[in-house]
Amino acid sequence: MSDDDGMLLNFTMSDEPNVAISKRATVTSGTWKERRMMKMKLEGKEPKKRSNGKDDGSNRRNKRRDVAVDDLEMTNDAKATWESFSGESGASDNQKGKQKKDGPSNVIPAHISSQVVTSLFTSNRKIDTLKNINQKNEDEETNPSNAPLIADDFESSGVSDILVKHLHEKLKIDKPTSIQKLVLPQLLSNNNEDLFIHAQTGSGKTLAFLLPILSRILNMKTRVDRKSGCFAIIIIPTRELAQQIYQVLISLTGCCHYLVPCLLIGGESKKSEKARLRKGCNFIIGTPGRVLDHFQNTESVKTQLGKSLRYLLFDEGDKLMELGFEETLSQILSLIHSIPIDTSAFPSLPSRIVNILSSATTKGDVTKLGNVALKNYKMISNGKMDNNALTSVPDQLVQSITIVPPKLRLVTLGAYLDSLCKKHKQQKTKDASHVSRTIIFLSCADNVDFHYEVFSSSDSHHGNLVGDSVRILTKGNTIFPSVDPEINPDVICYKLHGSLTQQMRTSTLQHFSKESETVAGKHLIMFCTDVASRGLDLPQVGTVIELDPPFAVEDHLHRIGRTARAGKSGESLLFLLPGEEEGYMEYIKPYHPKGWKMLNYTDDILKPTFQNAAVSRNDKSKARNSDEWDINATTWHLNLERRLLEDNYMKELAVKAYISHTRAYATHISKEKKFFNIKFVHLGHLAKSFGLRERPRTMGFQTAKHEEAESKKAKRENPKNKMFRLAREAQKQSFSEFNY
């Protein structure tokens, strides 16, 4: 495909050769005023400037700027490519001479496609939010709300001495956090009540329930080993989280090697899990489906449970219910409770099975789980509790919000990532091996694939590290880092979602979390779905970006909770669209008692990155060397658009991402639909942020067969049913993210 495609702004082109632009140009996008102005310009007429008297001048300036951007795009991009085309096509000297005289913009070559390229900066919806409704007080000193308590210790809470020593020497943990301080005495006492542990993200809920259970086993007079039976079963919604808790247990049992945990998760070999169960284990950690499967089909499990099982834990209980595991959990519970308890072997353990639920958020569903699992449970929380059982975000987390028009989402993300990379470079001057970690949350797997590809595969300036899900970037990128291809990016990109193989998911997370020579001095950027939003304890995540809005406020809290953990600092940025989505800020205000900063997408994000950046074009033409931020931002975007035109694989990814994203958008919970309704989104503009110049349906992308099938379906189906069907499909897709 020609490089020239897409160099034309806001007008369609004739296929006829050498047709004067002034006669044929049709302006097809923008407001009517802009279209008229552009059309007049193209026809060589000077539009009359009229003032309505209300304009304070800034509008006029902006409008002039938009037109100027269009002109510049046309003169630099279009002229350059038309010129180069006329050279390539072997135009006659006569023609060339004529072109020179008339100027290149007067003649349109035959094979330039009739693609319409809309400008990034025109026709964007107005942003209503003029004032930050929840301004962060920058002068207020904030103490980390999920940090260990300085004036406390584990000994006084009754934790076993061996464990206290091990925590101090091997894990460098000396003081309990506030939720641990509350839960420890409860589980160490002989009350044996069911518990609901509810505390902020990163506040140490895992140790809050594991330490007392281990302590009680270690404090028993009886000698135990892996053959003594399973004392606790921990059920978790995601495989990654199960692996994490398994690792925590492995490190805790470092002081008592005779106690053995066992991991049961989907995607792993059932045969080897069975073998491990036969050998015996003291803790089972698993995802619901696989645990039930073993309970039903592995005889050795049931025989162990009667004399030993005393604790049943549901971590991220609300997510378990949201994913529809109620039935599976009920079956697990009825199987467990059907086994008679024999207290004679371990009399100092509870005389009944204690059920424990843990989560940073609660909602209607979790009470259902409470009814399924907990009996007269006690709620233990370190947060503010009211009717809505709110958990606020950690006090030290610095939240920012930016309202960005749909067309500009991708370029704004690029600019923000670039600013994070610059920050990382600064930190590297103090410590050459400094590692920065950034997580970007996206709506669905296809969207992750697309963004990962955009930011990591430009011009093949990358090397794969772990299969195709971890890429180290090298010099020469024109997309990322967005500005100077000559500088070593020092960036490693990762992708994580439920459609990757379990092996890939595990090795990706390991690479992202572990300190190693490959990651030393690098900025690690992970593009992921909500599969990484729950419970994952990834070390030193400095920034969380929510490019796609969360599907429910609980997801928002969990996503941003991947940073600012256990008293550490952290930042997060939420992208919203102008219009109805701006109302979301009022909705999440109660969860952010410390407020947030509003970032202006132009002044605070785009300008600092693109001003004087001289972004190079990724085609044959020379670099622009422009100082203008908006021209540089436009060049950056056009580079991507050109890639899509030249690379069918990229284009397919973009189309799939766009389609899946719009479908996923329709699955926002009904309570939040007033902010996130696909009807409010300008789909053409949204397509632009996927590098697409038109909405996929109008691009003729679908095959004739597919279209025929679709149109038949459309004829049969009424719009309401179609909406429900698409929502169901998207929901199914988002659930399958987790691939249990």
Ligand X SMILES: Nc1ncnc2c1ncn2[C@@H]1O[C@H](COP(=O)(O)OP(=O)(O)OP(=O)(O)O)[C@@H](O)[C@H]1O
Tell the smallest beta-carbon distance from residue 567 to ligand X (Å): 7
Residue nearest to ligand X (CB): 204
- The phi and psi torsions of 423 (rounded to 5 degrees) equal -60, -40
Q: Which of 261, 317, 370, 561 binds ligand X (CB under 6 A)?
A: 561
Alpha-carbon span 2 to 645, nearest angstrom:
8
Count of residues interacting with ligand X (CB under 6 A) = 20
> CA dist 587 to 392, 595, 667, 698, 725, Å?
13, 13, 18, 36, 28
Q: Which of 99, 206, 238, 243 binds ligand X (CB under 6 A)?
A: 206
- Closer residue to ligand X (CB): 203 or 436: 203
Q: Does 145 bind ligand X (CB under 6 A)?
A: no
Take residue 552 and report the two structure tokens written for it. Answer: 């429910």
Alpha-carbon span 629 to 610, nearest angstrom:
4
Q: Which of 360, 588, 598, 631 binds ligand X (CB under 6 A)?
A: 360
Q: Are 547 and 440 in contact (CB under 8 A)?
A: yes
Tell the smallest beta-carbon distance from residue 144 to ligand X (Å): 11
| Interface stretch with ligand X, choices 93-101, 558-566, 614-622, 726-734 (CB under 6 A) | 558-566
Q: Does 550 bind ligand X (CB under 6 A)?
A: no
- Closer residue to ligand X (CB): 537 or 555: 537
- The phi and psi torsions of 2 (rounded to 5 degrees) equal -70, 150
- Closer residue to ligand X (CB): 176 or 684: 176
Q: Does 556 bind ligand X (CB under 6 A)?
A: no
- The phi and psi torsions of 629 (rounded to 5 degrees) equal -65, -40
Tell the smallest beta-carbon distance from residue 446 to ligand X (Å): 26
Tell the smallest beta-carbon distance from residue 129 to ligand X (Å): 29
Tell the smallest beta-carbon distance from residue 142 to ligand X (Å): 18
Q: What is the DSSP letter of 148?
A: B
Residue whose entry in the numeric block shows the structure tokens 């696909």: 678
- Closer residue to ligand X (CB): 214 or 336: 214
Alpha-carbon span 117 to 122, nearest angstrom:
11
Tell the smallest beta-carbon distance from residue 147 to ligand X (Å): 8
Q: Considering only residues 399-428, where is the footprint of ligand X by CB under 6 A?
A: none
| Interface stretch with ligand X, choices 171-179, 287-295, 633-641, 670-678 (CB under 6 A) | 171-179
Q: Does 144 bind ligand X (CB under 6 A)?
A: no
Take residue 476 and report the two structure tokens written for it. Answer: 């020469």
Tell the smallest beta-carbon distance from residue 199 to ligand X (Å): 6
- Closer residue to ligand X (CB): 202 or 405: 202
- Closer residue to ligand X (CB): 261 or 406: 261
List the beta bridge partners of residue 314.
Answer: 235, 357
| Interface stretch with ligand X, choices 168-176, 231-239, 394-402, 715-723 (CB under 6 A) | 168-176
| Interface stretch with ligand X, choices 175-183, 303-311, 420-428, 693-701 (CB under 6 A) | 175-183
- Closer residue to ligand X (CB): 561 or 696: 561
Tell the smallest beta-carbon distance from residue 187 to ligand X (Å): 15
| Strand pairing report for 283-286 and 311-315 | unpaired
Cis amide prior to 481 (ω within 30 degrees): yes
Q: Which of 207, 654, 659, 687 binds ligand X (CB under 6 A)?
A: 207
Q: Which of 6, 30, 104, 176 binds ligand X (CB under 6 A)?
A: 176
Tell the smallest beta-carbon distance from residue 34 to ligand X (Å): 47
| Strand pairing report for 283-286 and 261-264 | parallel
- Closer residue to ligand X (CB): 173 or 398: 173
Take residue 207 and report the two structure tokens written for it. Answer: 């140790």
Q: Sign of the C-alpha dihedral, residues 332, 333, 334, 339?
A: positive
Q: Does 173 bind ligand X (CB under 6 A)?
A: yes
Sequence-distant (≥ 6) Cβ neighbours of residue 273 within 8 angstroms: 262, 263, 264, 290, 294
Tell the smallest beta-carbon distance from residue 172 to ligand X (Å): 8
Q: Which of 495, 565, 607, 656 binds ligand X (CB under 6 A)?
A: 565
- Closer residue to ligand X (CB): 199 or 650: 199
Dihedral angle over CA of 697, 702, 706, 710, nearest 10: 0
- The phi and psi torsions of 614 (rounded to 5 degrees) equal 50, 60
Alpha-carbon span 106 to 474, nearest angstrom:
41
Q: Which of 70, 537, 546, 571 binds ligand X (CB under 6 A)?
A: 537
Q: Are 11 and 38 in contact (CB under 8 A)?
A: yes
CB count in 10 Å sphere of residue 476: 14
Q: Does 148 bind ligand X (CB under 6 A)?
A: yes
Tell the smallest beta-carbon distance from residue 155 to ligand X (Å): 13
List the beta bridge partners of residue 315.
Answer: 358
Tell the smallest beta-carbon distance from residue 561 to ligand X (Å): 5
Element (H, E) at 610: helix 607-610
Alpha-carbon span 310 to 341, nearest angstrom:
9
Q: Does 204 bind ligand X (CB under 6 A)?
A: yes
Q: Which of 202, 237, 350, 542 binds ligand X (CB under 6 A)?
A: 202
Take residue 629 and report the two structure tokens written for it. Answer: 């931020």
Sequence-distant (≥ 6) Cβ neighbours of residue 310 within 8 angstroms: 231, 232, 346, 349, 350, 352, 353, 354
Alpha-carbon span 351 to 192, nearest angstrom:
8
Q: Does 566 bind ligand X (CB under 6 A)?
A: yes
Q: Considering only residues 245-284, where is the footprint of ligand X by CB under 6 A?
A: none
Tell the smallest beta-carbon distance from residue 251 to ligand X (Å): 9
Give SS3 for 595: coil
Q: Considering only residues 179-198, where is the footprint of ligand X by CB under 6 A?
A: 180
Q: What is the DSSP string of 179-211?
A: HHHHHHHHHHSS----EEEE--TTS-HHHHHHH
Dihedral angle over CA of 693, 698, 699, 701, nearest 10: 140
Q: Which of 166, 205, 424, 682 binds ligand X (CB under 6 A)?
A: 205
Take residue 26 and report the two structure tokens written for it. Answer: 């049709």
Q: Does 319 bind ligand X (CB under 6 A)?
A: no
Q: Does 203 bind ligand X (CB under 6 A)?
A: yes
Tell the smallest beta-carbon distance from residue 544 to ligand X (Å): 12
| Interface stretch with ligand X, choices 16-24, 172-180, 255-263, 267-275 (CB under 6 A) | 172-180
List the beta bridge partners of residue 398.
Answer: 571
| Interface stretch with ligand X, choices 42-50, 107-115, 173-181, 486-494 (CB under 6 A) | 173-181
Q: Does 535 bind ligand X (CB under 6 A)?
A: yes
Tell the smallest beta-carbon distance from residue 176 to ligand X (Å): 5
> CA dist 155 to 104, 146, 208, 211, 373, Å?
81, 20, 14, 12, 31
Alpha-carbon span 253 to 259, nearest angstrom:
6
Tell the smallest beta-carbon distance from residue 223 to ligand X (Å): 29
In the complex, which residues of this chain contact ligand X (CB under 6 A)?
Answer: 148, 173, 175-177, 180, 199, 201-207, 360, 535, 537, 561, 565-566
